Structure formats: structure tokens, C-alpha cells
Amino acid sequence: MIFEGLMTTMSQTGAVNVAPMGPIVRGDFDSLLLRPFEGSTTFDNLSASRHGVFHVVDQVDVIAEAAIRRLRQTPATVPAQMIEGAVLEDCCRWFELEVTRVDTSQPRSEMEARVLHRGERRPFQGFNRARHAVIEAAILATRLHLIPREDVEAQYRVLASAVEKTGGQRERDAFGMLNEFVKQHQGAAS
Ligand SMILES: Cc1cc2nc3c(=O)[nH]c(=O)nc-3n(C[C@H](O)[C@H](O)[C@H](O)COP(=O)(O)O)c2cc1C
């Protein structure tokens, strides 16, 4: 299955990068297949260091902000235990990873990763339609160059309804920011 979450990686100078990522997860996170696009900071950092931390989260505002590179500030982290890496203070579960195989024959690379250490910070809060809608909206926002404008607009209209009906302020703000980003992008493109 693919699980959407947040990946932290470190540059060679120790700068922490946070990005949403959807790895293919085998078993109960026995191993992960990461698929970062070449050109992303995650790809560069993982290629160089071969280490990163994948997080299962239940808040979606950092996913939304990082997807469109509008993180107001790097979220608070604590040092990873088995690798030189950063664990998000606000996460449900984390997995410290070592990349064991890299395939760059496709633009979306494949990086096989084994779990060196795992931990839990707090329980998953539960399913919420608005949060899922924000995740879908964030994915769409990173693919505007691939999806026809009318399709994006139609999907945003559906997602907006779930956010209005079931979200709290954080979800409404995150969705509003993504909506604004999409409008700006489409305004610039027309
Ligand atoms: C939920 C979600 C999952 C994503 N999964 C991936 C992925 O598996 N691979 C990828 O290259 N980009 C993925 N993206 C897009 C990246 O997060 C986005 O391009 C980001 O800007 C990359 O940041 P970076 O350059 O800091 O690594 C995903 C985005 C979202 C919202």
C-alpha cells in the first residue's frame, strides 16, 4: 500500500528538509520503496546521505505547506536515534531509514529502504474527511503541470465541500492556502 506522510532528510551541511512523500509500504512498515522525483531536495539528500526519516502524521497543514514550498518554519524536530536524521516532534509514528538500493532509470526514482529503527510519539487521532481532502488538494497542487485546469477546478470544488463540512480552522486555512496557490498558478499560466 501507499501511505502518505512526511519525510525528513538532511543536507550535507545538516539542514533539515521536510517534504510530503508517498512510499510503497510493505507489511507493517517492514520495508519501504521511496519514489522521490529527481530534482527534489529529498532526492538530492537521500542520494547523498542514504538516510531519512518517514513519519505517519495526522495533521495536514505541514503536508500542505511543504508540498508547495510554503513552510512558514521548519517544524520542531528531535535527533533520530539510529541515523543522523531528524524526527518531527509532532508525529504519530516514525521510521528511521537506510536506503539500500537506488534506481534512477526513470524520472521518478526508486529507492529501496530498510527500517533501522521505529518509534511512536502519540496515537493517531482518527479519520477526518477534511484532512483527507487537504491531502488530495496538496497532491493536485504539485501536479498542475500534468492535469487539465478544468479537472483541477472540478476536484477542488468537491474537496472544498468536505473541508467546509468536516474540518476545523487548521484544515480550512490549509485548504484556503492551496486554493489560492492553484488560482495564482492558473492565473499566471493563462
Ligand atoms: C501527499 C503527498 C505525497 C507525495 N509523494 C511524493 C512522492 O512519493 N515522490 C515525489 O517525488 N513527490 C511526492 N510529492 C510531491 C512532493 O512533496 C513535492 O514535490 C515537494 O515539493 C518536494 O519537496 P522537496 O524538494 O523539498 O523534496 C507528494 C506530495 C504530497 C502532497
Ligand 1 within 6 A of CB of 162: no
Instruction: Please check whether residues 139 and 103 belong to one and the same domain.
Output: no
* Residue 108 pLDDT class (50, 70, 90 cuts): confident
Give the residue among 65, 61, 58, 67 at the shortest CA–CA distance from 21. Answer: 67
Q: Report the mean per-residue pLDDT for the chain.
A: 96
Ligand 1 within 6 A of CB of 64: no
Instruction: Please check whether residues 21 and 75 belong to one and the same domain.
Output: yes
Last residue of a domain, one of 103, 120, 137: 120
| Rounded Cα–Cα distance for residues 162 and 35 (Å) | 29
Domain with 94, as residue range(s), is 5-120
- CATH code for the domain of 98: 2.30.110.10
SS3 9: strand
Instruction: Please check whether residues 139 and 68 belong to one and the same domain.
Output: no
Q: What is the pTM of this model?
A: 0.96
* Residue 106 pLDDT class (50, 70, 90 cuts): confident
- CATH code for the domain of 171: 1.20.58.290
Q: How far is the CA of 116 from the centre of ligand 1 (A)?
A: 23
pLDDT in tens, 41-97: 999 999 999 999 999 999 999 999 999 999 988 999 999 999 999 999 999 999 999
Number of domains in the chain: 2
Instruction: Please check whether residues 135 and 115 belong to one and the same domain.
Output: no
Instruction: Please check whether residues 38 and 18 belong to one and the same domain.
Output: yes
